[in-house]
Chains A and B, each alone.
Chain A
């Protein structure tokens, strides 16, 4: 028996289902992702990487097939159950970071924890600790629109970790970074891996694909796993 944290069986995802322009973004994927490993989803634009990430991270539901997270079937759970799954199991780092403008770095990092209502002091301390670990303690009061690309990404990573999720998902994390910052990001991923977290990345950046920390590369084309 494998220690699969996320399991996909015959998963398909259609957009514009039933319409003339129906499009299968993911088309029959079977995949098992083990705990504590770094998996890279790679493939050309339109190969289904981001859609697959949204299915893995309970941001979307499949049209067909089963997705299990930590042994629980999440394929067609209603939103309230999916929210619980996302809140407890996943941290997301989006391609455009999706930080909330007008709020400080610290507030952005603390935000995903508010629905769980931890003691404010403890939450603030944890957010500051994460920012410190990522070298951003001095920027905690800065507004996010003042941050550089690398700082914004590290803020997004700190935000993804605030609920201490076992899985971190990052969509094209190096797309907006230069080589130096990309390497810094990979160093952070290595630390996440050392902490025992499962990391799922999507990227077609050769720098990421060649990184030693990546345990497994899943190649996609036309919504299918090809390698």
Chain B
């Protein structure tokens, strides 16, 4: 199974990530220890120049990691046909105990990488390195997550045995003791109220931040909350409407051809909007330098506008798919 092209691509991406992240981590330690903008020493000048090289490499690494989350989910979905009992990506992730941890770590890495990329984007626009220390500090947070994600993913792929009988999504979203089962068991009306309240508040927060040019941090916090709420809403009611089945709660079957790949349509704006919101929230508290003010004044509204539009798109999509479904859940 290791020779499946997508698995090889994922393993290669992780190997490359680790190969490039480890020296970058050592560089980050050196930078945090010796960084002194008041010094004109050869070491400081070298550090300043090297930050651009290292940041360019990291930009590539993290961009690869953003794509690799999508590829992991896509691969898991495609591999489902090879396992007895698997109907979608859930079955593939359930083949061994490393499947879902690998997915969750990739998810964490996705948001951390987005935050780092955004911070780097802002930092590189100012000539006086205002966020350099912070972004290399953040790198030291990302590094162990990336390493763990790579290790767990390798363990997962190494443990993919085709003779394992796995369980389908039906078992994950039924029963009474798992978080997913509890989400699936949530009354649709309650889930809808939660979803439209939180996403509505997020969109209003975004519009307010655009109108009054303040409150971007509140919008970021709402974005972070909107993501799990939207995922819960997918499990609790959206999936039911799309499958037109009152007990099929799987958020992964949405990615299948039978349902027109609508999952990609729903998840992409949700993930991008949440990542933008979170990245902005991680960067804003540190963006106090005078040189960053004009840059943030320019960038913040753009990011807020983009994230708000994508959250609105999510709401429209959720509403549209629920509206046009033949399933009647309410009333």
Chain A min CB distance to B129 (Å)? 9
Inter-chain contact B49/A76, CB cutoff 8 Å: yes
Report if A66 contacts B (CB, 8 A).
yes
**A73 within 8 Å of B by Cβ?**
yes
Q: Which of B45, B124, B128 contacts A64 (CB 8 A)?
A: B45
Whether A63 contacts B48 in the complex (CB less than 8 A), given A73-B128, A77-B127, A81-B127, comes out as no
The CA of A9 and the CA of B38, in the complex, are separated in Å by 11
Given A11, A72, A76, which contacts B48 in the complex, CB threshold below 8 Å?
Answer: A76
CA distance A62 to B42 in the complex (A): 9
Chain A, residue nearest B43 (CB):
A64
Per-residue CB contact flags for chain A residues 1-31 toward chain B (1 = under 8 Å, else 0) read 0000000011110000000000000000000
A115 in contact (CB, < 8 A): no
Residues in A neighbouring B45, C-beta threshold 8 A: 61-65, 75-76
Q: Which residue of A lies closest to B53 (CB)?
A: A78
B interface, CB within 8 angstroms of A: 37, 40-42, 45, 48-49, 52, 124, 127-128
Closest to B45 in A: A76
Q: Is the CB of A65 within 8 A of B40?
A: yes
List B contacts of A63 (CB < 8 A): 42, 45
| CB pairs A–B below 8 angstroms (11 shown) | A9-B40, A10-B40, A62-B40, A63-B45, A64-B41, A66-B40, A72-B128, A73-B127, A75-B48, A76-B49, A81-B127
A220 to chain B, nearest CB (A): 20
Closest to A63 in B: B42
B residues within 8 A CB of A12? 42
Interface secondary structure of B, over-half rule: loop
Given the known interface contacts A72-B127, A73-B128, the answer about A78 and B41 at a Cβ–Cβ threshold of 8 Å is: no
Chain B residues, CB < 8 A from A77: 127
Bound-complex Cα distance A12 to B127 (A): 21
CB-CB under 8 A from A61, the residues of chain B are 45, 49
Q: Are A75 and B42 in contact (CB under 8 A)?
A: no
- Chain A 41-69, CB-CB to B under 8 Å as 1, else 0, gives 00000000000000000000111111000
Interface size class of A (residues with CB under 8 A): 10 to 19
With A62-B45, A64-B45, A72-B127 already in contact, the answer to whether A78 and B40 are too (CB < 8 A) is no
Given contacts A75-B45, A75-B48, whether A64 and B40 have CB atoms under 8 Å apart is: yes
A73: which B residues are within 8 A, CB to CB? 37, 127-128
Complex Cα spacing A129 to B48, Å: 42
Q: How near does chain B come to A12, taking the closest CB pair, in angstroms?
A: 8
Q: How far is the CB of B306 from chain A (nearest CB, A)?
A: 24
Complex CA distance for A77 and B291, rounded to whole angstroms: 14
Chain A residues whose C-beta falls within 8 Å of the C-beta of B41 in the assembled complex: 64
Task: Kindly list chain B residues whose C-beta atoms are within 8 Å of the C-beta of A78.
Answer: 52, 124
Chain B residues near A81: list those with CB within 8 A: 127
Given the complex, which residues of A lie within 8 Å of B52, measured CB to CB? Answer: 78
Q: How far is the CA of A66 from the CA of B127 in the complex (A)?
A: 14
| Nearest CB in chain B to that of A81: its residue | B127
The 8 closest A-B pairs by CB, nearest first: A76-B48, A66-B40, A64-B42, A65-B40, A81-B127, A76-B49, A76-B45, A78-B52
CB-defined contacts of B49 to chain A, threshold 8 Å: 61, 76
Contacts of A76 in B (CB 8 A): 45, 48-49
Closest to B42 in A: A64
Residue numbers in A under 8 Å from B42 (CB-CB): 12, 63-64
User: Quick one: which of A169-221 are within 8 Å of B by CB?
Assistant: none
Which residues of chain A from 51 to 103 have any CB-CB distance to chain B below 8 Å in the complex? 61-66, 72-73, 75-78, 81
Bound Cα distance A66, B41 (Å): 9
- The answer for the CA separation of A212 and B45 in the assembled complex, in Å, is 39
- The chain A residue sitting closest to B128, CB to CB, is A73
Which among A10, A11, A64, A76 has the greatest number of chain B C-beta atoms within 10 A? A76
Please give the distance in Å from B202's CB to the nearest CB on chain A: 35
Least CB separation from B50: chain A residue: A76
- Measured in the bound complex, the distance between the Cα atoms of B53 and A76 in whole Å is 13
- CB closest residue in chain A, given B129: A76
**Chain A positions within 8 Å of B37 at CB level:** 73
Quote the shortest CB–CB distance from B292 to chain A (angstroms).
Answer: 15
The CA of A9 and the CA of B40, in the complex, are separated in Å by 8
